[in-house]
Structure 1
Amino acid sequence: MYLFTSEVVSPGHPDKCADIIADSIVDAILSQDSKARVASEVFVAGKHIVIGGEVNSSVNLSHQEYRTIVKSALAKIGYNGNPHFSKAQCLHPDDIEVDVFLNQQSPDINQGVDQSSGEIGAGDQGIMFGFASNETNNLMPAAITYARMICDRVYDYALKNPDKLGVDIKTQVTVDYGSKAKFEDCQPEKIHTIVVSAPSVESLKI
């Protein structure tokens, strides 16, 4: 056997919640100031939402406006006060605590964004790159593709059946390539293991 595992989380996972909230903050500021520079970081721990980072913008959102952005993002994800889960079991928008620690962005970083040539640079941000694989039609490795497909299906079911499942979902798929050579040649042989983790109501019977 030669095993390779990939994991996917749903929008309801705290890491994804943080990403979606951060994106929502960027959208809210850019909608009012198209030339704004926003580098927002969000940390989710229990009911505590911490917003940090740097902003260079003519827009100065209030703490309440940030709280509204957070609550709206959580509601779209599926955390909309589900009565089938207690506040100790999942996020409830009316129970969250939002802390905002956004500072004015350094002009040195802005120099790396606005270039004399008229082009826009990356500032102090990293650049990600990857490669395509012929293992699947979407040119992604098999393990991550199947894990995403399963996660999307379970998340969709959770949204439609809030009396059964919560939205903090994680899926994991392990693919067996048989040998390292087949792994390097993108030739998976079979699925070895599928793991699905999803919060359920205490009364749910299998």
Structure 2
Amino acid sequence: MSRPSYIFTSESVSEGHPDKVCDRVSDTIVDLFLSKDPEARVACETLTTTNQIILAGEIRCAAEIDNDEIEQAAREAVRDIGYEQEGFHWKHANFQNFLHEQSAHIAQGVDAGEDKDEGAGDQGIMFGYASDETPELMPAPILYSHKILKRMAELRKSGERPEFEPDAKSQVTMRYENGIPAGITSVVVSTQHKANLDQAQVRELVRPVVEEVLPDGWLPPEDEFYVNPTGTFVIGGPDGDAGLTGRKIIVDTYGGAAPHGGGAFSGKDPTKVDRSAAYACRYLAKNVVAAGLAKRCTIQVSYAIGVSKPLSLYVDCHGTGQVDEVKLEDTLRQLVDLSPRGIRTHLKLNRPIYARTAAYGHFGRKPAEDGGFSWEKTDLVDALRGLA
């Protein structure tokens, strides 16, 4: 039995965090290839450190994309984040590209042929989750953590708060009563800043952002509001710490409030079920909760490399469900083809829509007119409500 009252914490990191810089560059490369060939295959890993941007991985594309175009895309991604620092600069950093052709042995298992459907790009398990505790149907701690940093980035880029630099982290600790968010007990924000500011000045710049984002009356006590608790934070980003693609998978998903299959999303084209099936699971879980069939819903699927059908589909409504979970599993299988090709077709994933996912969470976002965040739609609600 789950505890009705408890305290829970989630963290987020900004688009300028070293790992997030790498996620953004990797997803920018995915978008570049998909813009040239919707069936492109990309598995792009990025490493950043002091004035170094290094790419590695596998690609396959019907169109010709040269190194100059890849380098320009990577540099523009870093420029958009805002890095023009001595230790890491979008224009002056050394760039190395070690992307190479996709392994023929992987391709033979994934590609469709005359006698077989397209298989999954790898084995593994993927999860999706939704909760009715916020309008976005996301866990509240991770949602507020994202919003704090996203707002700080907006203020920095608009010029209203030039004192902020790109690298930042946030952490929100929430009190739940009877399973419902009842208040925030502490907030932590660490942000890179201009060298002429002291800790107290940074605190007063961060405070109005947190006040704006949190619900009225939810700002924690003064002694539980932590800003740059280690003191000065001037050296940051890849100059302060090396970054790698795929190291912030809990930040990317549900802030630890739900299971994670272990596979990262960024840098992977949508044939990789680590990404596309996790999106599909969120899509299904969100529609279950949006339809009023549960207050919380976790969905798991599993795949074998080269096999098109999912090996399993598991639904858990955590004791809040209005419909038998076995019946839900059967219905969800009927509503959405969970083969790799079926997911990509249903959610229209073969488009350059991924760079925007690299920071502030892959879930809890608004569907865009060009198809971005299509997995956040609730267009299955009418079909599901008939089960109640």
**TM bucket, shorter chain:** 0.7 to 0.9
Partner of residue 196 from structure 1, selected from 186, 189, 195: 189
Q: Secondary structure at the match of 2:132?
A: coil
1:21–1:201: structure 2 CA closer, same or farther, 3 Å change rule? Answer: same
Q: After TM superposition, list the pairs within 5 Å mapping 1:135-154 onto structure 2.
A: 135-154=133-152
Tell me the residue number matched to 2:103: 106
Contact in 2 for aligned 1:176/1:189 (Cα 8 Å): yes
In the alignment, the residues of structure 2 paired with residue 55 and residue 138 of structure 1 have an alpha-carbon distance, to the nearest angstrom, of: 35
Count of aligned pairs between the two proteins: 193
Post-superposition Cα deviations, 1:38-83, rounded to whole Å, max 9, x if no partner, equal 111112223211111111224454333322111111122222x3xx
In the alignment, the residues of structure 1 paired with residue 79 and residue 120 of structure 2 have an alpha-carbon distance, to the nearest angstrom, of: 32
Q: Secondary structure at the match of 1:155?
A: helix
Q: Relative to structure 2, which stretch is displaced further, 58-67 or 101-110? A: 58-67
In the alignment, the residues of structure 1 paired with residue 153 and residue 123 of structure 2 have an alpha-carbon distance, to the nearest angstrom, of: 31
Partner of residue 21 from structure 2, selected from 17, 21, 34: 17
1:21–1:127: structure 2 CA closer, same or farther, 3 Å change rule? Answer: farther
Q: Secondary structure at the match of 2:166?
A: coil
Post-superposition Cα deviations, 1:17-36, rounded to whole Å, max 9, x if no partner, equal 11111111122222223332
In the alignment, the residues of structure 2 paired with residue 11 and residue 114 of structure 1 have an alpha-carbon distance, to the nearest angstrom, of: 34
Contact in 2 for aligned 1:111/1:123 (Cα 8 Å): no
TM-score (norm 2): 0.46
How many angstroms does 1:197 deviate by? 1.4
1:100–1:115: structure 2 CA closer, same or farther, 3 Å change rule? Answer: same
Look up the equivalent residue of 1:175 and give its one-letter code. M
Tell me the residue number matched to 2:154: 156
1:125–1:159: structure 2 CA closer, same or farther, 3 Å change rule? Answer: farther
In the alignment, the residues of structure 1 paired with residue 196 and residue 17 of structure 2 have an alpha-carbon distance, to the nearest angstrom, of: 22
Post-superposition Cα deviations, 1:76-124, rounded to whole Å, max 9, x if no partner, equal 2222x3xxxx413xx3112211121122211221123222377543312
In the alignment, the residues of structure 1 paired with residue 36 and residue 103 of structure 2 have an alpha-carbon distance, to the nearest angstrom, of: 21
In the alignment, the residues of structure 2 paired with residue 56 and residue 125 of structure 1 have an alpha-carbon distance, to the nearest angstrom, of: 20
Q: After TM superposition, list the pairs within 5 Å mapping 1:170-185 onto structure 2.
A: 170-177=169-176, 182=178
Q: Which runs of 5+ in 2 are unaligned?
A: 202-388
Q: After TM superposition, list the pairs within 5 Å mapping 1:1-206 onto structure 2.
A: 2-79=6-83, 81=84, 86-88=85-87, 91-116=88-113, 119-124=117-122, 126=124, 128-161=126-159, 163-177=162-176, 182=178, 186-204=179-197, 206=201
1:122–1:44: structure 2 CA closer, same or farther, 3 Å change rule? Answer: farther
In the alignment, the residues of structure 2 paired with residue 122 and residue 165 of structure 1 have an alpha-carbon distance, to the nearest angstrom, of: 43
Deviating beyond 4 angstroms after TM superposition, the runs of 4 or more aligned structure 1 residues are none
Contact in 2 for aligned 1:159/1:167 (Cα 8 Å): no
In the alignment, the residues of structure 1 paired with residue 59 and residue 12 of structure 2 have an alpha-carbon distance, to the nearest angstrom, of: 30
In the alignment, the residues of structure 1 paired with residue 31 and residue 7 of structure 2 have an alpha-carbon distance, to the nearest angstrom, of: 40
In the alignment, the residues of structure 1 paired with residue 51 and residue 8 of structure 2 have an alpha-carbon distance, to the nearest angstrom, of: 34
How many angstroms does 1:14 deviate by? 1.6
In the alignment, the residues of structure 2 paired with residue 138 and residue 173 of structure 1 have an alpha-carbon distance, to the nearest angstrom, of: 17
In the alignment, the residues of structure 2 paired with residue 36 and residue 98 of structure 1 have an alpha-carbon distance, to the nearest angstrom, of: 23
Alpha-carbon RMSD = 2.3
Q: Secondary structure at the match of 1:123?
A: coil
Q: Secondary structure at the match of 2:128?
A: coil
Look up the equivalent residue of 2:190 and give its one-letter code. S
1:38–1:126: structure 2 CA closer, same or farther, 3 Å change rule? Answer: farther
Q: Secondary structure at the match of 2:25?
A: helix
TM-score (norm 1): 0.82
